[in-house]
Structure 1
Amino acid sequence: MKFSLRNTIVMGAAVTGLLAGGVAAAQEQYIGLPSYRVGPFGSNGASLFGGWIDYMQMINERDGGVNGVKLTWEECETEYNNARGVECYERQKNRGATGNSAFQPLSTGIAYSVLDRVAQDKIPMVTIGYGRTDAADGRVFPWVFPMITTYWSQASAIINYIGSKEGGNDKLRGKKIALLYHDSAYGKESHAVLQRLAERYGYQLTMIPVASPGNEQQAQWLQIRQLRPDYTILWGWGVMNPTALRTAARTGYPREKIVGVWWSGSEEDTIPAGDAAKGYVAAGFNPAGTGFPVIQAIQEHVYASNRGNMEDRSRVGSVLYNRGVVHGIIYVEAIRTAQEKFGKGKPLTGEQMRWGFENLRIDDARLSALGATGFMPQLNITCADHEGAGVVKFQQWDGAKWNVVSDWVSGDRQLVRGMIEESAAAYAAEKGITPRDCSKEM
């Protein structure tokens, strides 16, 4: 397999400061991007990686990199395929002067596939809003960072949101909730916590799988029509989401009663569904919009000089594009944090980047300085807690755009953290891992 999008690779190399005629290169931080721009999820990947690349390009253009270290990147096309994701990991891990400084596949399946490898190779894996939930216990998973919000936190927050619509979680007893999920590692991540919450609150949970990619759902929606659930949680990805909304409309199921996860809450999900998406609600850890100073800075320093990664500029400011920018912010801020300890102006190794992620603090003051107030939640990563936020907002599609309809909503933090520690302890026992003593990591 070869690297995808040669023009993007060339651009990534160009911004490192390499010039014709043998002029010495500036210090550079290599970033391998295991992207997907083709296949059934290619449209989603184009927005995610486009936003991430544009943010890094802006940092290079506006700031000259991070303390003089230019960011350079290469894309490797995975097609959202686990085997190809592993191949990209192996291809990129030794690239650059210090090797690949982090691995971020934006795929739960690929994240599972390289889980053991990143620990052996000492390369941090960052899984923002996806991946293995119990990896939030940094004592057992020191090399994995499921930052901002895990799937279990999100599922619990969705139940809290549904409970608020019913007048309190105690009113969920006897209610019917269907989970329409992508039949993959990603889709199954929510099962444990939703079942635990069903036991607590007394709702009837029916879990209905949809085979990937999800463009055939007649049987599933016939089951939902017969079940007549009070709410349906849509845990989809790619083409599965607009297909679900269109099929729901044909069967007469109200879209206001469908609550999607953050990978089911983008313009790529609603616009193809047309009028069938109106009223649909989904979770998210970043809003859409171009009014944020950080997006305006990208437009000024990148798109004004025609150096943007998105061929369709109208997608700048979309949910998934902005989520890619969130990835860029977190990566760059981890570099800044690590440089404070290991030396400014120097490229970082994977081990040094791991320290940067594990000591990452993004408070309201820093969000303001980044032009990202309201763009993402505050983040506080520690040795034991690699999640750091655990909150989402809910947004509703009005037929043309997403509108935020809640403040930050948390799940049941005590329950979710207990489940994380329980699951992580079982994994440690199975693998013969001795959990870290975080009191010695201070």
Structure 2
Amino acid sequence: MIRRRIITLVSCSMAWLAGASWAAGEQFIPMPSYRIGPYAAGGTGVYGGFIDYLNYINLKEGGVGGVKLTYEECETEYKVDRGVECYDRLKGKGPTGASMFNFLSTGITYAVLERAAQDKIPIVSIGYGRTDASDGRVFPWVFPLLTNYWSQSTTKIKFIGQREGGMDKLKGKKIANLYHGSAYGKETIPVLEAQAKKYGFELINIEVPAPGNEQQSQWLQIRQLKPDWVILRGWGVMSAAAIKAAAKVGFPRDKMVGVWWAGAEDDVVPAGGVAKGYIAAAFAPSGANYPVVQDIKRVVYEAGKGNMQDSNRVGHANYNRGVVHGILNVEAIRVAQTKFGKKPLTGEQVRWGLEHLKIDDKRLKELGAVGLVPPLATSCLDHEGAGMVRFQQWDGTRWIPITDWIASDKALVRPMIEASAAAYAKEKGITPRDCSKEN
């Protein structure tokens, strides 16, 4: 049975000194979560879905290869210093130490990159984090799985191009990039600038100081500049505030395209009726009808072991993202067991599994996740593995899928990734791996 401990920074030391015991046959997955503060809606949803999936695997399969999955939470409040402290507190726990870390924070991910490599613990940054970490030659310990931010950015511009009647129609258009004032918010500026040059549109970058509930001056600027589209790179309270502000200045919500972290029920419901028509990207769409979500309801919630206080959120976008986190973490362990045996694995062994993931249509069907996750395959060279995005639109009551998976512009993104990774390697004195020698 999974141990369920929610640890604040104040109580974390006390809990550890009390002597948490770990069975020799368990696989430990740390949970540096955030359930309080301005980003709590996202944190509770994603980590709730993640934990539910671990419970589901334990209850349905008895763990992975007979190895029970355990976890321990540590509250970060989405703050970098607290995230680093949680990393230090959790990295050595469990019989073999931390399997991998999922911070759900670009800032924390940046902050622990070097120490995680030194500690030989992989960082899984699904849909967030440092984009050039997609180059596994330079970043062997970081996995921005499914779709990195630059890939997602190119799919948003592709989507806007489709709505305008073709990519050539983007020439002369104005696109405002309203972004969260953080490392996360600034991550896509380089690729948007490259796309603006490629397609001939005018890019207007507008920063919103974190947490983002004050945006009056930014939307007055948007009203004056009259962009054709607004890309909303929000998170937490910023997203609903932006939708409300757009309505106040008369900007059409169906001309707003949000990042997936601004595309959950938690972003649109607080905005009320004015959110109708708003569009957002998705690496894991909303919806409770996916077989894996239905099975979690049956196996976990009917047994009274669900993590979500509000079970009505099961199947919402943030929850489904958590389920996807669970799927990819568990599948990495499963793959790693094929090489190292059905036993608790070290972070270094799990890293091998992350680098050899292959989830095809057949496996997605077995997992009950067709349409929830795109097919993906990772390698030494490619730690992203997919690079595809779907888009959904809020109809006032629920999210409606409006596209199938859209492939990223790899011809644009991959050279930028390699150039950025090479610059990082030079700065840090890193000799990139020779992937021809990896197996």
TM-score, length of structure 2 as denominator length? 0.95
Alignment partner of 2:335 out of 317, 334, 337: 337
Equivalent runs, 1:37-436 vs 2, <5 Å: 37-344=35-342, 346-436=343-433
- Partner residue, 2:15: none
Letter in 1 for 2:7: F
Q: How far, CA to CA, are the matches of 2:309 and 2:431 in structure 1? A: 48
Root-mean-square deviation (Å): 1.5
1:378-426 alpha-carbon deviations (Å, 9 max, x no partner): 1100000000000100000000000000011122111100100010011
Letter in 1 for 2:377: N
Letter in 2 for 1:196: A
SS at match of 2:336: helix
Q: How far, CA to CA, are the matches of 2:163 and 2:298 in structure 1? A: 41
SS at match of 1:112: helix
Letter in 2 for 1:198: A
Q: How far, CA to CA, are the matches of 1:300 and 1:440 in structure 2? A: 45
* Residue segments in structure 1 that go unaligned for 5+ positions in a row: 7-15, 19-23
1:294-337 alpha-carbon deviations (Å, 9 max, x no partner): 01111111100111000101000000000000000001100110
SS at match of 2:7: coil
Q: How far, CA to CA, are the matches of 2:71 and 2:150 in structure 1? A: 32
SS at match of 1:245: helix
Identity %: 63
Letter in 2 for 1:222: L
Question: In the comparison of the two structures, how many residue pairs are matched?
Answer: 426
Q: How far, CA to CA, are the matches of 1:46 and 1:327 in structure 2? A: 13
1:69-114 alpha-carbon deviations (Å, 9 max, x no partner): 0000000000000000000000001001100110110000000000
Q: How far, CA to CA, are the matches of 1:88 and 1:254 in structure 2? A: 42
Shift in Å, 1:4: 3.8
SS at match of 1:88: helix
1:3 corresponds to 2:7:
yes
Shift in Å, 1:25: 4.2
Letter in 2 for 1:167: G
4+ runs of 1 displaced by more than 4 Å?
none
Q: How far, CA to CA, are the matches of 2:108 and 2:23 in structure 1? A: 33
SS at match of 2:231: strand
1:272-297 alpha-carbon deviations (Å, 9 max, x no partner): 00111100000001111111110111
Q: How far, CA to CA, are the matches of 1:298 and 1:369 in structure 2? A: 14
Given that 2:23 and 2:95 are in contact with CA atoms closer than 8 Å, whether structure 1 keeps it comes out as: no
Given that 1:26 and 1:70 are in contact with CA atoms closer than 8 Å, whether structure 2 keeps it comes out as: no
